[in-house]
Structure 1
Amino acid sequence: MKRTTRHSFIRSSIHIADRAFDSYQKKMGSLKAILSNPDDLYPLLKLKMAARHAEKQIPPEPHWGFCYTMLHKVSRSFALVIQQLDTDLRDAVCIFYLVLRALDTVEDDTSIAKDVKVPILMAFHQHVYDREWHFSCGTKDYKVLMDEFHHVSTAFLELGRSYKEAIEDITMRMGAGMAKFICKEVETVGEYDEYCHYVAGLVGLGLSKLFHASGKEDLASDALSNSMGLFLQKTNIIRDYLEDMNEIPKSRMFWPHQIWSKYVNKLEDLKYEENSVKAVQCLNDMVTNALMHAEDCLTYLAALRDPAIFRFCAIPQIMAIGTLALCYNNIQVFRGVVKMRRGLTARVIHGTKTMSDVYGAFYDFCRMLKSKVDDNDPNARKTKDRLEAILKTCRDSGTLNERKSYIIRTKTRYNATSIVIIFIILAILLAYLSSTRTYNMIGFYFLGSIQVPA
């Protein structure tokens, strides 16, 4: 199963963006989508160019080269978003991410006996200090990461003391939490929050410590840092219902019994067509629960001072509220994949620069979500109250008139000539991008204006 590989603050941040990003990393997007949303073209091109630029920034040292190469393999979008961070903080976040990926890989490998797995999880924070330690498990790139973990340990030992202490502390606490939930199902809402804290909230705490250790930010409160993780974590758990339910060899679900048992007898019943009404009501209940963390996230983001750190934190949160808006009242969560349009993902990454952009995006997505609330839904009043609280926070910021809405807008009508011109431009640019020589020619122009998401 893939539970913890997806479900954490850094990993959840990436997972929300990765599914949309990876597909257009391989292909710029369908022509139909581009023609339907012409404003997406420029952000998509900028992100494509920024990704290629990031791949060229691999350090020459063997251990650091391994770490950044592995980062690109296990998550291209995360490798992209950290490039704007200053070198020391970028290195620390890179290693933090790889250590947690490795911890995930151990926890995730169902072939490892529990009596072997639990001690490794509990002692993983000590293994990062051992240049010789490795443990063969996982598959594909994750197996390479585990087999050659000594490169990660070597790089870890070169970090500043404050960075190492923060990574060790969070790894220790997360490993213990993972061990606790290996044999435990999520029954109550309290246990749901506890599980999300271990695999996501703790990473929010760890990132806050790394930001503070860099000297660029004040140390955020544990409560706010925890909410940053829980908002992302719960969003992933909601949208991944079907994938987690169909996991082989055995599903492992994280929707709390206390919520879903109000609607069906078994959690798997939500995916059956005859239970569609109850399934959507349960889904809306879960989304309403996740919304309780949104205001804390806005408070956390508003306190950040460094532009690169701000964008690093803000973009995943906007992706989360956008994903919740799409999932709410949407039976497709139980039928297939619900995700933000590729071009909108690129526009979020391209357009998120200031706190006014964040307030604007949250405001627009919450309005979208509110328009979908059915007064007959058993949680309609609670959902509206939580949305109104978020909307009020955005309005009270006084910044909504400072941004251009890229989420909710009147659809522009393009005539036939405009569409033909867009088609020609797209064809020419794609031809350019397919040529290494031509990429080098136009790369200077694009990269000179690119602000890599952070």
Structure 2
Amino acid sequence: MLQFSLPAFASSKGSEMYDQYQMLRGVSRTFALSIEQLPQPLRDAITIAYLLLRVSDILEDNEVMPAARKAELLRLWDCILDERASVALLVDAVAELDGSDPEVYVAQCAHTVIEQLRGLPEPIQASIVGYVRQTSLGMARWQEQGPLVADEAELDDYMHQVAGIVGYLLTDIFAWYSPVIRERKAELMPLAREYGLALQTVNVVRGLRKDYERGWVFVPRTFYNQVGLTHTTLFEPEHLPAAMRVVEMLAFKAERHLAHGMTYITAFPRHQHRIRLACMWPLLFAVKTLAVSRNNSAVLLTEAKIGRAQVAQIMRDTRLLGWSNAWLKCYYRALALPVNSIAPSASGLASTKSTV
């Protein structure tokens, strides 16, 4: 089991960031692993950026609020970030949600995250605010557009709003920190979008069932129509063989984005090993998740995820050898090999889920 200990805070903001790191761990243990090993001041900046994006996420993903209310609050959040509205309006709006949910708690503490944001260097503040606003407005538009995706172009548009833009944000912050990365920024930015789309496409695959149960299907209609299915029959056990062909279409798409994501990582200078690791770990976790999802009907019936032991192994291996681009490319190919899975029966759906 992965153990989480408090980092030795080498932050110029000192103990003021303690609560932010606690919230980060609460909403994503895997991203916390990546972010907390970054050098300062990147650690603080990306923690704050991530938490601001999670405020947008909880407004988008909330299962209680109707879509129109979500869009309204996402636009309010945009105004708050632009200093055209008080953060107290959002905090009041989410006060009655269940604060024991770590993601809800982040939204309820949005005022504290904003306070920490204002302490960052001005160029980083501007970058974070600009990209989080873009993402929030894109999410609002998709809440109004509806829960189905017509084709691959629409899926890419959605994924760009929620993940591709985040790739731009990370690259901006890294370029601010490193002169060498700054020189490569023009090369990195198109790949940054692909990096974000890679992670999000795998999220779509692993979250197929959960998204369907909350009323959303991110599979392009053009994909499942090819095999004679609809957005509802795609998830019916009797149609599993055809549905798994759709999963494979998504997997091929994910592979294309993941390959570009690997090019993004190897374009970073090797001496920036901690930055490379911060990008490498989510991508390699996604590569392995895709491998265990292929030929595995759990992705449609329950969920398929990698285990903590695999996460820990990837971290150990890459800490030691991830500075080498040649080794990393070989390691990527090994992780990407499909894992033979026993399909759960339609009646006794034994979950392959393992919390990461």
TM-score range, shorter chain: 0.7 to 0.9
SS for the counterpart of 2:302 is: coil
TM-score (norm 2): 0.82
- Contact persistence 1:281–1:329 (CA under 8 A): no
Distance in 1 between residues matched to 2:294 and 2:307, nearest whole Å: 16
Alpha-carbon offset, residue 221 of structure 1: 3.7
Residue 195 in structure 1 maps to residue 158 in structure 2:
yes
Change (3 A) 1:124 1:288: same
Change (3 A) 1:104 1:288: same
Distance in 1 between residues matched to 2:67 and 2:154, nearest whole Å: 21
Distance in 2 between residues matched to 1:145 and 1:362, nearest whole Å: 34
Change (3 A) 1:73 1:342: closer
Equivalent residue letter for 2:200: Q
Change (3 A) 1:146 1:272: closer
Give the corresponding residue for 1:177: 138
Alpha-carbon offset, residue 300 of structure 1: 0.9
**4+ residue segments displaced more than 4 Å:** 56-63, 113-116, 129-132
- Contact persistence 2:237–2:301 (CA under 8 A): no
Give the corresponding residue for 2:198: 231
Equivalent residue letter for 1:336: T
Alpha-carbon offset, residue 370 of structure 1: 10
- Contact persistence 2:134–2:161 (CA under 8 A): yes
- Contact persistence 2:127–2:169 (CA under 8 A): yes
Distance in 1 between residues matched to 2:112 and 2:207, nearest whole Å: 32
Q: Deviations over 1:248-304 (max 9, x none)?
A: xxx212111111121243223233332121011111111112212133212211111
After alignment, is 68-77 or 236-245 more displaced? 68-77
Residue 308 in structure 1 maps to residue 274 in structure 2:
yes
- Contact persistence 1:63–1:151 (CA under 8 A): no
Residue 85 in structure 1 maps to residue 41 in structure 2:
no
Equivalent residue letter for 1:291: E
After alignment, is 320-329 or 214-223 more displaced? 214-223
Give the corresponding residue for 2:189: 222
Change (3 A) 1:116 1:240: closer
Q: How much is the aligned-residue C-alpha RMSD, in angstroms? A: 2.5
Equivalent residue letter for 1:279: A
Alpha-carbon offset, residue 106 of structure 1: 1.9
After alignment, is 346-355 or 263-272 more displaced? 263-272
Give the corresponding residue for 2:73: 120
Residue 157 in structure 1 maps to residue 124 in structure 2:
no
Q: Which runs of 5+ in 1 are unaligned?
A: 1-23, 26-47, 373-454
Identity in percent: 24
After alignment, is 119-128 or 56-65 more displaced? 56-65
SS for the counterpart of 1:340 is: coil
Alpha-carbon offset, residue 228 of structure 1: 0.1
Residue 369 in structure 1 maps to residue 322 in structure 2:
no
| Greater relative CO, 1 or 2 (CA 8 Å, sep 6+) | 1
Change (3 A) 1:357 1:124: farther
Change (3 A) 1:132 1:271: closer
Distance in 1 between residues matched to 2:241 and 2:251, nearest whole Å: 16
Give the corresponding residue for 2:262: 298
Residue 74 in structure 1 maps to residue 27 in structure 2:
yes
Give the corresponding residue for 1:186: 149
Change (3 A) 1:131 1:94: farther
